[in-house]
Every structure is written in structure tokens, then in C-alpha cells.
């Protein structure tokens, strides 16, 4: 399986590839063009203070991480939980930085921060990621055999893992759409160009 972090990256990529392949005016309109609702970039609502725009999937990941570390359901986390949670999300953080984040977000010096502060901290980390590095990581999730290429079989297995009901024809169409060197598979360079065409990164 992909794990939740993998699914959060791969799901939107798959949907973006699919909508890109079938959004083109080539008479293939009927195959579920779904650019609209899939890549949902919301900056937050009302009192929400997150300074960076994050994807729906990233917001879900942040919420899940917060809930895991807030095991008593108090709606808050302390310095140690913050440090471990940030590392669990795949980001580096050293003790002085974690202390500085606590000081900045815990203005009343309670020793705790709430979900909104946690979300803002993680949103900033997501925004600071190098997009090409992230694209390469996403490519590795698809390229299970480490061959440097994504095959039809890889794509079909991932679609199945994510519960995406895509026909073999749709999957082949997605590969054809982006397979610039016509070898029937998608290499890293082709994958990065897909990512740059979508609004994912």
C-alpha cells in the first residue's frame, strides 16, 4: 500500500493526469474531465489565519497528525508533541526551532498550542518545499520497481490502491498523453512536465 502520505500525493496527481488527458479538445470529452473539484486550493475560511495556501489533502494530513498526537482529545499539543509531529510529517526540525515556534504561537505561555497554530506551522513548511524535489518524491511513489519509469501496470495498481475507477483504456490514454519519447511508459522528466502542467505544485 501507499500509506496515507503517499496517497495524499499520488491521488491528486492521478486525478490531474486524468483530467489533463481528457480535458483536451480531442473528442474524448466524455471520460470524466474533472479539473474543477479535484484540485481544491482553499486559503482558509473566516477566522482561519493560515498564511499559505495548502491543498485539501495536505490539510487532511495535518489534521490527522494533530489528532494522533493530541491523543487525549484536548485540542492542544506541547513542545515535545509538536517536534515529533513535524518530524512524522517528513520535515526536519531541531530543538531550538521547535522552542521558537512554541514561543511564537503560544502567546499566553500556556505551554501548549492549538490546531490552528499547528496548521499554520505546517502550511509554511509545505510552502517552503522545493517543488522539483517534491515531484521527484511523487515519481518514486509511482515507480515502485525503481526502474526510472512508470509503466501501465504501476499506474493501474496505484489507481486500484486509491479506489480510482479507471478503465484500462483511460490509463493507456493517460500514458499516451504524456509519453513524449513514445516508449509506452512515463519517465521522470515526462512526469515532472505533467506536474508542472497541473496546479499541484
Residue 83 reports pLDDT greater than 60: yes
Assign 4 a pLDDT band (cuts: 50, 70, 90).
low
In this prediction, residue 47 carries a pLDDT of 35
User: Sign of the CA dihedral 153, 155, 160, 164?
Assistant: negative
Most confident among 105-119, 141-155, 182-196 (mean pLDDT): 105-119
Helix (H), strand (E) at residue 187: strand 186-187
167 near 6, Cβ under 8 Å? Answer: no
- The C-alpha cell that represents 79 in the structure block: 513542545
185 near 142, Cβ under 8 Å? Answer: no
pTM, rounded to two decimals:
0.46
In this prediction, residue 9 carries a pLDDT of 59
Closest listed residue to residue 15, CA positions, set 199, 176, 152: 199
- For residue 188, give every residue at least 6 positions away whose Cβ sits within 8 Å of its Cβ, in sequence order, or none: 136, 139, 143, 148
26-41 pLDDT tens trace = 433 333 333 333 333 3
Buried b vs exposed e over 148-170: b needs ≥16 C-beta within 10 Å? ebbbeebbbebbeebebebeeeb
Amino acid at each position: 500500500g501507499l500509506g496515507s502520505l503517499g496517497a495524499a500525493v499520488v491521488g491528486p496527481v492521478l486525478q490531474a493526469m486524468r483530467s489533463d488527458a481528457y480535458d483536451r479538445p480531442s473528442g474524448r470529452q466524455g471520460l470524466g474531465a474533472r479539473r474543477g473539484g479535484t484540485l481544491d486550493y482553499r486559503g482558509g475560511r473566516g477566522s482561519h489565519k493560515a498564511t499559505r495556501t495548502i491543498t485539501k489533502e495536505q490539510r487532511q494530513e495535518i489534521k490527522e497528525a494533530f489528532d494522533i498526537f493530541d491523543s487525549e482529545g484536548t485540542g492542544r499539543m506541547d513542545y515535545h508533541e509538536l517536534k515529533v509531529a513535524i518530524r512524522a510529517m517528513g520535515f526536519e526540525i531541531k530543538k531550538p526551532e521547535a522552542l521558537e515556534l512554541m514561543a511564537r504561537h503560544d502567546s499566553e505561555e500556556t505551554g501548549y498550542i492549538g490546531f490552528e497554530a499547528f496548521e499554520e506551522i505546517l502550511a509554511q513548511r509545505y510552502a517552503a518545499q522545493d517543488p522539483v524535489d517534491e515531484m521527484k518524491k511523487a515519481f518514486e511513489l509511482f515507480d515502485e520497481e525503481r526502474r526510472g519509469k512508470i509503466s501501465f501496470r504501476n499506474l493501474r495498481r496505484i489507481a486500484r490502491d486509491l479506489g480510482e475507477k479507471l478503465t484500462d483504456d483511460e490509463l493507456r490514454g493517460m500514458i499516451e498523453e504524456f509519453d513524449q519519447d513514445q516508449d509506452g511508459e512515463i519517465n521522470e522528466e515526462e512526469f515532472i512536465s505533467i506536474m508542472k502542467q497541473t496546479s499541484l505544485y
